[in-house]
A and B are shown apart, each in its own frame.
Chain A
Amino acid sequence: MNTVEFQNVGAQYGDKAVLSGIELEIPANSIYALIGPSGCGKTTLLRSVNRLNDLIRGFILTGSIMVDGKSVYSLKDKESVRILRRGIGMIFQKPNPLPTSIMKNMTIPYLEHVRSSAKEARELALERLKLVGLYNEIKDRLDAPAIRLSGGQQQRLCIARSLMLPSNLLLMDEPCSALDPISTYKIEEILFELKKERTIIMVTHNIEQARRVSDYTAFFYNGVLVESGATHNMFAHPQHDYTQKYVSGRMIESVLQEVHIS
């Protein structure tokens, strides 16, 4: 299954509303790109899916988010939330390897939740590293500190790590924003591979990337969903003026004009 459904979702930090009336359906086995100008609430929406926003004091979510038909915010006890999180992989904007070895990074989350031997964990880790194409680059320094990898390698390590638990849903928050074009390309290749068995929701500021890799795109502006649908459709025939401007890069022009006038 691995579907996600946002039903009339609103979100606020304290008194400050940052999202309202979001209606969006994420079909299984697709890559869904969330785009929109900075501060429009994409990260907030993404981090609501695995309830990571619970850590922020004052965060309130209204409406409901359904993962595989089950309402995420109706989960009452902490253990159910933890089980939910285990099933969802999360990739952050900044690569977030833990300050330990490459191999430990891979095995820590796995051994945390799966009863298994260190050897099994290691084997699975190698398999996942191969999947993201990192294995050949690092096979002789698996016990070196993960922090010594390049940014692109670190991000691929984090992707591999998120695949250690059986997660069918991946949340990616600008996974390539800190990377060079080649690392970006490598990660996009991985996304195509992962899509076969998983659903991916990806925030991106790179409109070209959204066009290249996503099946669907949703465009947000100021906390509301302006438009969503199949990517090729939306880029070819944007329904809204804003969308049209944003995907063609002309929103920047209008911002510049505003700045100029004021």
Chain B
Amino acid sequence: MMKKTKFKFHPVECLMRLGALAGIVAILFIFAFVFIKAWPVISHNGLGLLINRGFDKQISEAFYAPVSDPMLTFGMAGLIAGTLVTTLIALIFSGIISIGSAITICEFAPRPLASALIAVVRLMASIPSVVFGLIGAMLVVPFVDQFITLDIEKVVSEFYLTGRNLLSASIVLTFMIAPTVITLSVDALYSVPDIYRETGYAFGMTRFRVISRILLPSARPGIVAGFILGAGRGIGEAIAVSMVCGGLGMIPDLKYGFISLLTPVLPLSAAIINKSEAMSVPAVESALFACGALLLVLGTVFSLVARFLVKRFSSGGLVNET
């Protein structure tokens, strides 16, 4: 019996396996290619790549270095910090917006309005990122620019501040992440069985308490999944962020509080775009591939942590296991 099925040829199954195999090969190839290209810079700097700063200056030095004596010393701490901080802030902003919107859509809006809102949100998720960048540059940057006063410039006196900064990057990213988080949260809230709502109401709970004590905890796995996808987009987003981030690889100095949000940043992905004009120089090219390699590593670590978190969140029995 077993043997028979083993040797039987299933064209569809074969095709599917081939597809899966091709996917794995492609991923391995991408990793290999990026790391080979990045190797000169990675091997030259070692761990220093993660710890040292000064990427902007180093790029221009590398650009003007003689071909006989290429300059390979780079430090990407600023870029890593930029990626992490922008994504984190955007996640916090979009968390507030998205959960509120999802609750409004699922629990308060009348049906027709709710479906209209969902359609708008889905549409937002499919807008190309360069459009977000454009709107960010036209609307968000001038808006943020208003907050910059002479006093603030004195505090961080080294350079001229513009509206292109960490805050703008985070705001633009927020609007790119939010649709994903909203969509998944809405799906999660809609799939909470009605019986849970009724259970809450039968205990005389108010609508607000039913939402906060019963619906949100029940929908938590779906909402967390939304945040994970959103964070993935935040880490990888390049174009839009590069248009509004200010393009300087600084580590935001949190001791300045709000002012630290007004300093320019340069996340890894935006760095690849911003500095790509200098790519004709092999050292710069290798440095940018090193940015790519870091992004790949960051993405991998992130999805592993996310999987762990999802397991943690669900093991408390907060998921409907059926």
Q: Which residues of A contact B (CB under 8 A)?
A: 50, 52, 55, 78, 81-86, 88, 90, 92, 94, 96, 98-101, 108-109, 112-113, 144-148, 165
The answer on a CB contact under 8 Å between A112 and B209 is yes
Contacts of B201 in A (CB 8 A): 52, 55, 85
The answer on a CB contact under 8 Å between B322 and A147 is yes
Q: Does B253 contact A (CB under 8 A)?
A: no
Instruction: Report the nearest A residue to B213, measured CB to CB.
Output: A108
Contacts of A52 in B (CB 8 A): 198, 201-202
Contacts of B321 in A (CB 8 A): 145, 147-148
Q: Mark B306-322, 1 if CB is under 8 A from A, else 0.
A: 00000000001111111
The answer on a CB contact under 8 Å between A100 and B206 is no
Instruction: Report the nearest B residue to A171, measured CB to CB.
Output: B202
Q: Does B205 contact A (CB under 8 A)?
A: yes
**What's the Cα separation between A78 and B206 when bound, in Å?**
9
Contacts of B322 in A (CB 8 A): 147
The answer on a CB contact under 8 Å between B205 and A99 is no
**What's the Cα separation between A55 and B207 when bound, in Å?**
11
Distance of A173 from chain B, by nearest CB (Å)? 11
The answer on a CB contact under 8 Å between A55 and B195 is no
Q: Does B52 contact A (CB under 8 A)?
A: no
Distance of B130 from chain A, by nearest CB (Å)? 42
The answer on a CB contact under 8 Å between A96 and B204 is no
Across the interface, A99 reaches (CB within 8 A) one of B204, B206, B319, namely: B319
The A-contacting residues of B in range 196-223, CB under 8 angstroms, are: 196-199, 201-206, 209, 213-214, 217-218
**What's the Cα separation between A208 and B213 when bound, in Å?**
39
Across the interface, B204 reaches (CB within 8 A) one of A85, A147, A148, namely: A85
**What's the Cα separation between A147 and B199 when bound, in Å?**
15
The answer on a CB contact under 8 Å between A82 and B202 is no
**What's the Cα separation between A144 and B321 when bound, in Å?**
13
The A-contacting residues of B in range 277-322, CB under 8 angstroms, are: 316-322
The answer on a CB contact under 8 Å between A92 and B198 is yes
The answer on a CB contact under 8 Å between B320 and A147 is yes
The answer on a CB contact under 8 Å between A92 and B320 is no
29 contacting pairs across A/B (C-beta < 8 A)? A52-B201, A52-B202, A55-B198, A55-B201, A78-B206, A82-B206, A85-B204, A92-B198, A96-B195, A96-B198, A96-B199, A98-B199, A98-B218, A99-B218, A99-B318, A99-B319, A100-B217, A100-B317, A101-B316, A108-B203, A108-B213, A112-B203, A113-B204, A144-B317, A145-B317, A145-B321, A147-B320, A147-B322, A148-B321
The A-contacting residues of B in range 163-200, CB under 8 angstroms, are: 195-199
Q: Which residues of B contact A (CB under 8 A)?
A: 195-199, 201-206, 209, 213-214, 217-218, 316-322
Distance of A225 from chain B, by nearest CB (Å)? 24
The answer on a CB contact under 8 Å between A112 and B205 is yes
Distance of B210 from chain A, by nearest CB (Å)? 10
Contacts of B203 in A (CB 8 A): 85-86, 108-109, 112-113, 165
Distance of A45 from chain B, by nearest CB (Å)? 16
Instruction: Report the nearest A residue to B319, measured CB to CB.
Output: A99
| A-B pairs with lowest CB-CB distance, top 9 | A145-B317, A86-B204, A85-B204, A82-B204, A109-B203, A90-B202, A96-B195, A99-B320, A96-B199
The answer on a CB contact under 8 Å between B206 and A85 is no
Distance of A59 from chain B, by nearest CB (Å)? 13
Contacts of B196 in A (CB 8 A): 96, 98-99
Distance of B193 from chain A, by nearest CB (Å)? 9
Across the interface, A101 reaches (CB within 8 A) one of B199, B204, B213, B317, namely: B317
**What's the Cα separation between A52 and B213 when bound, in Å?**
19
Contacts of A165 in B (CB 8 A): 203-204
**What's the Cα separation between A250 and B102 when bound, in Å?**
52
Contacts of A113 in B (CB 8 A): 203-204
**What's the Cα separation between A53 and B198 when bound, in Å?**
10
The answer on a CB contact under 8 Å between B195 and A146 is no
Contacts of A145 in B (CB 8 A): 316-317, 321
The answer on a CB contact under 8 Å between A100 and B198 is no
Distance of B233 from chain A, by nearest CB (Å)? 28
**What's the Cα separation between A182 and B204 when bound, in Å?**
32
Contacts of A101 in B (CB 8 A): 316-317
The answer on a CB contact under 8 Å between A100 and B199 is no
Contacts of B204 in A (CB 8 A): 81-86, 112-113, 165
**What's the Cα separation between A147 and B320 when bound, in Å?**
7
Contacts of A81 in B (CB 8 A): 204
